[in-house]
């Protein structure tokens, strides 16, 4: 799962430009240093450090959720949250498991929307055993407006679809760019992604 915030910043550069200058963004590294994924190593060979947000075991997942919650409360308020791949999985897991409880005890402004890119499904911790929330898990676990960006050629495509099914259906928008585990940089695809994200933001601002 190795990547870093600089890579994500580059990957989303054209999308952010298409969304306009009115938005501000923050990019946060994971805490576990690891090897890069093969595609990241090829595309970003000059990066010296790569990170993962968590390992697949309960203590690591819960620690990552703690870190995310601390970042949000310390540096917020934030209107939205987004992530790619494992980062999207972490954000979705937080929104499903931690965020509803945090709202009861925190004065920070609520997160109004989420953008999931090439996402993995959110993680369920049953009796301390982490597993992915796939089709055997019922219910809409993320209930704010969401945008789902994925490609039909991505090995994680079905997992991205699974995450979308765990989000509130009337507030979940999707854009299939037809590619792999990536954010395409063509004008046509960037415009399509930006329109999907912009509609999600509009839904959030309307308080849907």
Active site residues: 85, 154, 181
From 206, 207, 119, 128, select the one nearest 167 (Cα to Cα): 119
β-partners of residue 50 are 34
Distance CA 36, CA 33 (A): 9
Between vectors from CA 176 to CA 121 and to CA 155, what angle results, nearest 5°?
50
Distance CA 133, CA 189 (A): 29
Distance CA 86, CA 120 (A): 6
For residue 11, what is the DSSP state? Answer: H
DSSP string, 21-52: TT--------SEEEPBPHHHHHH-TT---EEE
Between vectors from CA 178 to CA 92 and to CA 135, what angle results, nearest 5°?
40
Q: Is 141 exposed, middle or buried (CB count within 10 Å of its CB: 0-12, 13-18, 19+)?
A: buried
């Amino acid at each position: 799962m190795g990547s870093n915030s600089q890579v994500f910043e580059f990957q989303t550069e054209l999308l952010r430009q298409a969304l306009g200058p009115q938005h501000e963004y923050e990019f946060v590294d994971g805490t576990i240093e690891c090897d890069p994924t093969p595609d990241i190593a090829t595309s970003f060979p000059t990066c010296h450090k790569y990170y993962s947000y968590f390992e697949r075991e309960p203590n690591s997942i819960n620690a990552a959720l703690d870190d995310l919650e601390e970042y949000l409360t310390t540096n917020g308020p934030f209107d939205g949250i987004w992530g790619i791949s494992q980062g999207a999985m972490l954000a979705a897991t937080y929104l499903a498991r931690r965020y509803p409880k945090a709202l009861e005890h925190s004065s920070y402004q609520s997160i109004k929307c989420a953008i999931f890119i090439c996402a993995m499904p959110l993680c369920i911790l049953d009796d301390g055993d982490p597993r992915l929330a796939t089709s055997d898990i019922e219910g809409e676990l993320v209930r704010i407006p969401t945008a789902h960006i994925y490609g039909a050629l991505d090995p994680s495509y079905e997992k991205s679809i699974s995450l979308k099914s765990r989000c509130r259906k009337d507030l979940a928008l999707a854009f299939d760019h037809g590619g792999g585990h990536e954010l395409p940089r063509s004008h046509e695809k960037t415009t399509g992604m930006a329109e999907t994200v912009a509609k999600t933001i509009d839904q959030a601002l309307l308080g849907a």
